[in-house]
C-alpha cells in the first residue's frame, strides 16, 4: 500500500524563501544566495517525506514565484514586452514577468480556483511562439535523485494551462485558447522525453480544471491532448491529479477512458461525491486511484479511523495494490509545521496537523491499510478527535441554539431601502455625491511600532524587564492618530468620516482576537502570492462576543467631529472566508454564529450614537463555490448572514458595506439582496465591466460608490480624471444614489499620496455638484 503527496509548501517553516526572495529583489543578496536557500529547502522537504516513508514524493512543486509562471517559462511563452531573446529563462525575465520592472508592468495575477493563492495568468495569442525554455522540472528531478530520492515530477497539465490563460492584449476575445494545444504539446513532449531519460518512472499532471463545469469541446480537448501525448508517455506511469471539488460525471468518464493515463488523483475532502461516482460508475481495471483523504486546505488533524474506512471501501473496488493514499490537494494551502507553534494551547494543538504532520498521517494510513497499523499513533489520534468533540471550549449551547434558530428564517430590515435612505438623509443632511473613504488611513512605521509594543506587553505583563508601553500610553497614541485622521478629513472637506483603523493590524485578526472560538498561530503562514503570505486565524469553537470590540474607538472618533463618523466592522462572511474554518459543522453554521456576534456589535455602536456603520464584506465574492450548481446555496446563506448583522437597527441608521474584487456582475442580484443602504465597491481597474450591469437595466435603488481611483497604485489621479469617471457613472446611475470614494482602504499608501489624491477626489465631486 503506497502513499503520495500532491505538493508541498515552498516558503519554508519560518518563511525562509520569502526573506531570501525579498533580499534578492532589494539587491541585498546574490542569485547564488537565493539559490542556496531554495536548494536547502527542497532538500529538506524531500528528506522529510522520504524519512516519513512516502513512496510517491513530488518534485517541481517548488517555485520561486508561482507554478503557472514556471509552466509559462517552460513553454517559453514570454509576452513580447519583456524583450526576452530566447535561451534558458533566468531570474531577470522570470521576475520581470512576475513583478514588472522599471519599464514594464507585471503580468496579471488572479486567484487560483477558490483558494487564497494567486497565480500569474499566461497571456497567449495566435502569434505566441512556444519553445522549451526552462528545464526546471528535469533539473529538480535530477537534484532529488542525486540526494537519493526518486521523485514524481509534477507539471501543470496542458489543458488546465490553456484554460487558465487569457488572450493577450489586442487578441480578439473570441480567440480559442485551446487552439494552441497543438503548439504547446511538442514542448511538453520534449520535457517528458528529458524526464524519462533522467530516469523518471512516474509523472504527475495537475489538471484541476477538470472539476469545473466544462463543455464538451473542452472535454474533447482533454482526450485529444492525452491521446497526442500517448507515445511520448509510453513506459511512464501517468497520474492526472484533480482537486478542489467533485469531478463531474461526464469528466470522470472522459478522464477514466484515456489510454495514456494510468492513475487518477481525486480530492475526497471537497469532492465527497466523487466517492459515490467511483462506486457507481466503476473504475478502470489495472489503473491506480490516488485517494485524497487528508485535507490539504485546512489545519485539522485527520480523523484517521474515518479515512481508513473510506480507503477500505475503495480498496474493495480498485484492488489492494492499486490504491494510493494521498492528500486532497497540494499542501501549499495549509500551514507548514506545527512544531513551531510553541505558544499554542496544548489541547487545541492536539487537534491540529500542518503540512509536516499531514505527511505523517498519509503514511500512517497507507501502513494501516497494508496491515501495519501503528496502534499507538491511531489511538492518540482517536483521543484527540474525541477531546475535540467533547471539549467545552468548542461547544457553547447558547450560541448553538441561537444560530440554529436562524436557519430557514429570513432576516431583513422592516422598511424598504428608499424609505430608509429618506429617513437617514433627514438626519445626516449630506450633499449630493457625498464623499467618503473606505476605512483605513496610512499606517506609519511609528504607528505599527506602538501597536507592536503594546501587544508585546500583553504577552509579558509579568516580566520585570517589561519596558513596553502601558495601556494609557497606547490609548493616547491611538487617540492622537485618530484625531490627526479626523482633522485631515475635515480639512479635505470629506462628508462622512472614518477613524482610520489605527488600532487594527488586520481586518480579520482584530475581530478574531476579541471573539471567543478563535485561536492564533505564530508561524501558520500560507503563501498568497510570490513572497507574500497570510496567517489565517483558526476558528475552533462556537463564536461569541464577550465584550464590545470597536465601540470605544468609534465613540472617541465621533466625539472629535460634528460630521458623521462611520463605525467600521468586518462582516461575517469575510471573517469566515479568511480563516481556517471548523470542519465539524457546515460553514454556514459558523457564519451564522459570527453574524450574531457582529449583530451585537452593530447594536452597541448604534446605541453609542454612531449613525453610519460600515460592515465590510471584502471577501464575499471569493467564497463562491467552483461549481455553478452550488452558487445559489452559498449566496443564500452568505447574504442572509450579512443581513442578520443589521436587521435590528433603526431606519435612520445607515448601513454601508464594502466589497473588493471588481468582478461581481454575476452576483449583482445577491448584492442587491444584501439590502445595505450604501455599497462602496472596488471598480477602478475595470470601470466598464461594473457599469455595464446597470447599463443593461439592473435596477439599483440603494446608495452606491464605485471606487473613483485605484488605491493599489502610488499614482495620483487628477481632478479631471476623477470628474470624468464620475460623469461616466452618472450616465448609468441616479444622481441621488451615487457616492464618491476611493477603491479600497488607504492603509498601504503614504500620506504624500493620499492627501493629494483625496484633495482631487473632493474637488471633482464639488465640480460636478456645480454642474448638476
**Which residue of 163, 275, 595, 660 would you call a contact of Zn ion, by CB under 5 A?**
660
Q: Can residue 568 be called a binding residue for Zn ion (CB under 5 A)?
A: no
Helix 751-771 vs helix 471-492: crossing angle, to nearest 10: 40
Q: Can residue 439 be called a binding residue for ligand GLN (CB under 6 A)?
A: yes
Distance between CA atoms of residues 343 and 347, nearest Å = 12
Find the shortest distance in angstroms from Cβ 554 to ligand GLN: 13
| Residue of closest CB approach to ligand GLN | 745
Cell of 347: 489541547
Find the shortest distance in angstroms from Cβ 661 to Zn ion: 8
Which residues between 490 and 509 bind ligand GLN (CB under 6 A)? 501, 507
Choose the stretch contacting ligand GLN; rule: CB under 6 A; options: 309-317, 480-488, 538-546, 744-752.
Answer: 744-752
Number of residues that bind ligand GLN (CB under 6 A): 13
**Which residue of 333, 658, 725, 749 would you call a contact of ligand GLN, by CB under 6 A?**
658
Return the number of the residue (233 or 618) whose C-beta is nearest ligand GLN: 618
Cell of 753: 499620496
Residue given cell 481495471 in the structure block: 285
Find the shortest distance in angstroms from Cβ 550 to ligand GLN: 11
Distance between CA atoms of residues 71 and 80, nearest Å = 17
Which letter, b or e, does each residue of 614-640 get, where b requires 16 or more Cβ atoms within 10 Å of its Cβ?
bbbbbbbbbbbbbeeeeeeebbebbbb
Q: Can residue 548 be called a binding residue for ligand GLN (CB under 6 A)?
A: no
Residue 203 φ/ψ, nearest 5 degrees:
-145, 145
| Residue of closest CB approach to Zn ion | 744
Find the shortest distance in angstroms from Cβ 569 to ligand GLN: 9
Q: Can residue 745 be called a binding residue for ligand GLN (CB under 6 A)?
A: yes
Find the shortest distance in angstroms from Cβ 681 to ligand GLN: 10
**DSSP SS3 for 695:** helix
- Burial class, 325, CB count within 10 angstroms (exposed 0-12 / middle 13-18 / buried 19+): buried
Distance between CA atoms of residues 295 and 286, nearest Å = 26
Distance between CA atoms of residues 700 and 597, nearest Å = 29
Cell of 100: 514588472
Q: Can residue 744 be called a binding residue for Zn ion (CB under 5 A)?
A: yes
Q: Residue 495 binds which one of Zn ion, ligand GLN, none, with CB within 5 to 8 A depending on kind? A: none
Q: Can residue 612 be called a binding residue for ligand GLN (CB under 6 A)?
A: no
Q: Can residue 618 be called a binding residue for ligand GLN (CB under 6 A)?
A: yes
578 appears as a binding residue in the annotation = yes
Which residues between 176 and 215 bind ligand GLN (CB under 6 A)? none
Return the number of the residue (13 or 703) whose C-beta is nearest Zn ion: 703
What is the DSSP code string of 644-679? HHHTTS-TTSEEEEEE--S--GGGHHHHHHT--SEE
Helix 216-228 vs helix 181-197: crossing angle, to nearest 10: 40
Which residues between 104 and 133 bind ligand GLN (CB under 6 A)? none
Choose the stretch contacting Zn ion; rule: CB under 5 A; options: 250-258, 313-321, 407-415, 615-623.
Answer: 615-623
Residue given cell 463543455 in the structure block: 215
Choose the stretch contacting ligand GLN; rule: CB under 6 A; options: 67-75, 418-426, 434-442, 587-595.
Answer: 434-442
Q: Which of 629, 636, 649 is nearest to 586 (CA)?
A: 636
Q: Can residue 746 be called a binding residue for Zn ion (CB under 5 A)?
A: no
Return the number of the residue (617 or 677) whose C-beta is nearest Zn ion: 617
Side-chain half-sphere of 219: how many Cα atoms within 13 Å?
18
Distance between CA atoms of residues 507 and 536, nearest Å = 11
116 appears as a binding residue in the annotation = yes
- Beta-ladder partners of 478: none
Q: What are the Cα distances from residue 293, in Å, to 12, 271, 348, 501?
A: 24, 10, 22, 41
**Which residue of 52, 107, 332, 660 would you call a contact of ligand GLN, by CB under 6 A?**
660
499 is catalytic: no
> Which residues does 477 contact at the CB level (< 8 Å), separation at least 6?
447, 450, 469
Q: Residue 733 binds which one of ligand GLN, Zn ion, none, with CB within 5 to 8 A depending on kind? A: none
Distance between CA atoms of residues 300 and 584, nearest Å = 10
Distance between CA atoms of residues 316 and 310, nearest Å = 10
Q: Can residue 152 be called a binding residue for Zn ion (CB under 5 A)?
A: no
Choose the stretch contacting Zn ion; rule: CB under 5 A; options: 145-153, 450-458, 655-663, 729-737.
Answer: 655-663
660 appears as a binding residue in the annotation = yes
Find the shortest distance in angstroms from Cβ 574 to ligand GLN: 8
Find the shortest distance in angstroms from Cβ 362 to ligand GLN: 35
Q: Residue 200 binds which one of ligand GLN, Zn ion, none, with CB within 5 to 8 A depending on kind? A: none
Q: Can residue 747 be called a binding residue for ligand GLN (CB under 6 A)?
A: yes
Return the number of the residue (120 or 660) whose C-beta is nearest ligand GLN: 660
Residue given cell 540526494 in the structure block: 147
Please, are residues 599 and 648 in contact by the beta-carbon 8 Å criterion?
yes
Which residues between 434 and 493 bind Zn ion (CB under 5 A)? none
Distance between CA atoms of residues 30 and 23, nearest Å = 9
Return the number of the residue (304 or 618) whose C-beta is nearest Zn ion: 618
Q: What are the Cα distances from residue 677, in Å, to 48, 68, 237, 440?
A: 54, 41, 58, 21
Find the shortest distance in angstroms from Cβ 401 to Zn ion: 34
166 appears as a binding residue in the annotation = no
Find the shortest distance in angstroms from Cβ 566 to ligand GLN: 9
Cell of 211: 472539476
The distance in angstroms from the start CA to the end CA of the chain is 75
Q: Residue 439 binds which one of ligand GLN, Zn ion, none, with CB within 5 to 8 A depending on kind? A: ligand GLN
Return the number of the residue (352 or 618) whose C-beta is nearest Zn ion: 618
Please, are residues 374 and 563 in contact by the beta-carbon 8 Å criterion?
no
Q: Which of 745, 701, 312, 165 is nearest to 499 (CA)?
A: 745
Q: Residues comprising the binding site for L-homocysteine? A: 438-440, 616
Q: Give me the residues that bind Zn ion (CB under 5 A), please.
A: 618, 660, 744
Q: Residues comprising the binding site for L-methionine? A: 438-440, 501, 616
Q: Residues comprising the binding site? A: 18, 116, 438-440, 501, 532-533, 578, 616, 658, 660, 669, 682, 744
Q: Residues comprising the binding site for Zn(2+)? A: 658, 660, 669, 682, 744
Q: Give me the residues that bind ligand GLN (CB under 6 A), please.
A: 438-440, 501, 507, 568, 616, 618, 658, 660, 744-745, 747
- Catalytic residue annotation: 712
Amino acid at each position: 500500500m503506497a502513499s503520495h503527496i500532491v505538493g508541498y509548501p515552498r516558503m519554508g517553516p519560518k518563511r525562509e524563501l520569502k526573506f531570501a526572495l525579498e533580499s534578492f529583489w532589494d539587491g541585498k543578496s546574490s542569485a547564488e544566495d537565493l539559490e542556496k536557500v531554495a536548494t536547502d529547502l527542497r532538500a529538506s522537504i524531500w528528506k522529510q517525506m522520504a524519512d516519513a516513508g512516502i513512496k510517491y514524493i513530488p518534485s517541481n512543486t517548488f517555485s520561486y514565484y508561482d507554478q503557472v509562471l514556471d509552466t509559462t517559462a517552460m513553454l517559453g511563452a514570454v509576452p513580447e514586452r519583456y524583450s526576452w531573446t530566447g535561451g534558458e529563462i533566468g531570474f531577470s525575465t522570470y521576475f520581470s514577468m512576475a513583478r514588472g520592472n522599471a519599464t514594464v508592468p507585471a503580468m496579471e495575477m488572479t486567484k487560483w480556483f477558490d483558494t487564497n493563492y494567486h497565480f500569474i495568468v499566461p497571456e497567449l495569442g495566435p502569434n505566441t511562439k512556444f519553445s522549451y525554455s526552462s528545464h526546471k522540472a528535469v533539473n529538480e528531478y535530477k537534484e532529488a535523485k542525486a540526494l537519493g530520492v526518486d521523485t514524481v515530477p509534477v507539471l501543470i497539465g496542458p489543458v488546465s494551462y490553456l484554460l487558465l490563460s487569457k488572450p493577450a492584449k489586442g487578441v480578439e476575445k473570441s480567440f480559442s485558447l485551446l487552439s494552441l494545444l497543438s503548439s504547446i504539446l511538442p514542448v511538453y513532449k520534449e520535457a517528458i522525453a528529458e524526464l524519462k531519460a533522467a530516469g523518471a518512472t512516474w509523472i504527475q499532471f495537475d489538471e484541476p480544471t477538470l472539476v469545473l463545469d466544462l463543455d464538451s469541446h473542452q472535454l474533447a480537448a482533454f482526450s485529444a491532448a492525452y491521446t497526442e501525448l500517448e507515445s511520448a508517455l509510453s513506459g511512464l506511469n501517468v497520474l492526472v491529479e484533480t482537486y478542489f471539488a467533485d469531478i463531474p460525471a461526464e469528466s470522470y468518464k472522459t478522464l477514466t477512458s484515456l489510454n495514456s493515463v494510468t492513475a487518477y488523483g481525486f480530492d475526497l475532502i471537497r469532492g465527497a461525491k466523487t466517492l459515490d461516482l467511483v462506486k457507481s460508475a466503476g473504475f478502470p481495471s489495472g489503473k491506480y486511484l490516488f485517494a485524497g483523504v487528508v485535507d490539504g486546505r485546512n489545519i485539522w488533524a485527520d480523523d484517521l479511523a474515518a479515512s481508513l474506512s473510506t480507503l477500505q471501501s475503495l480498496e474493495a473496488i480498485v484492488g489492494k495494490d492499486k490504491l494510493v493514499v494521498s492528500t486532497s490537494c497540494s499542501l501549499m494551502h495549509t500551514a507548514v509545521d506545527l512544531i513551531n507553534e510553541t505558544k499554542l494551547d496544548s489541547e487545541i494543538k492536539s487537534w491540529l496537523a500542518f503540512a509536516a504532520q499531514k505527511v505523517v498521517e498519509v503514511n500512517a494510513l497507507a501502513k494501516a491499510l497494508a496491515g501495519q497499523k501503528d496502534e499507538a499513533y491511531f489511538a492518540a489520534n482517536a483521543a484527540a478527535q474525541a477531546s475535540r468533540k467533547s471539549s467545552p471550549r468548542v461547544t457553547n449551547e447558547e450560541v448553538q441554539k441561537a444560530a440554529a434558530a436562524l436557519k430557514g428564517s429570513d432576516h431583513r430590515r422592516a422598511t424598504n431601502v428608499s424609505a430608509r435612505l429618506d429617513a437617514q438623509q433627514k438626519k445626516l443632511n449630506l450633499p449630493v455625491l457625498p464623499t467618503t473613504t473606505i476605512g483605513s488611513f496610512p499606517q506609519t512605521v511609528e504607528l505599527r511600532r506602538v501597536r507592536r509594543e503594546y501587544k508585546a506587553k500583553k504577552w509579558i505583563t509579568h516580566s520585570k524587564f517589561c519596558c513596553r508601553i502601558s495601556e494609557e500610553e497606547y490609548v493616547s497614541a491611538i487617540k492622537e492618530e485618530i484625531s490627526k485622521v479626523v482633522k485631515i478629513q475635515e480639512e479635505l472637506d470629506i462628508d462622512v468620516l472614518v477613524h482610520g483603523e489605527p488600532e487594527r493590524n488586520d481586518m480579520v485578526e482584530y475581530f478574531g482576537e476579541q471573539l471567543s472560538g478563535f485561536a492564533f498561530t505564530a508561524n501558520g503562514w500560507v503563501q498568497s502570492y510570490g513572497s507574500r503570505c497570510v496567517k489565517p486565524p483558526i476558528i475552533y469553537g462556537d463564536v461569541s462576543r464577550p465584550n464590545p470590540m470597536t465601540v470605544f474607538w468609534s465613540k472617541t472618533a465621533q466625539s472629535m467631529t460634528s460630521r458623521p463618523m462611520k463605525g467600521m466592522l468586518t462582516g461575517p462572511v469575510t471573517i469566515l472566508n479568511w480563516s481556517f474554518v471548523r470542519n465539524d459543522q457546515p460553514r454556514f453554521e459558523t457564519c451564522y454564529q459570527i453574524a450574531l456576534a457582529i449583530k451585537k456589535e452593530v447594536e452597541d455602536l448604534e446605541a453609542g450614537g454612531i449613525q453610519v456603520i460600515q460592515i465590510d464584506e471584502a471577501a464575499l465574492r471569493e467564497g463562491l463555490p467552483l461549481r455553478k450548481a452550488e452558487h445559489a446555496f452559498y449566496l443564500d446563506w452568505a447574504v442572509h448572514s450579512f443581513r442578520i448583522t443589521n436587521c435590528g437597527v433603526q431606519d435612520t441608521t445607515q448601513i454601508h458595506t464594502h466589497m473588493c474584487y471588481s468582478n461581481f456582475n454575476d452576483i449583482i442580484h445577491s448584492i442587491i439582496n444584501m439590502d445595505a443602504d450604501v455599497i462602496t465597491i472596488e471598480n477602478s481597474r475595470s470601470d466598464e465591466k461594473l457599469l455595464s450591469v446597470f447599463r443593461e437595466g439592473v435596477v439599483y435603488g440603494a446608495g452606491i460608490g464605485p471606487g473613483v481611483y485605484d488605491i493599489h497604485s502610488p499614482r495620483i489621479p487628477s481632478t479631471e480624471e476623477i470628474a470624468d469617471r464620475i460623469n461616466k457613472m452618472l450616465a448609468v446611475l441616479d444622481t441621488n444614489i451615487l457616492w464618491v470614494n476611493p477603491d479600497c482602504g488607504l492603509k498601504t499608501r503614504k500620506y504624500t499620496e493620499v492627501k493629494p489624491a483625496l484633495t482631487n477626489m473632493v474637488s471633482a465631486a464639488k465640480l460636478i455638484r456645480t454642474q448638476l
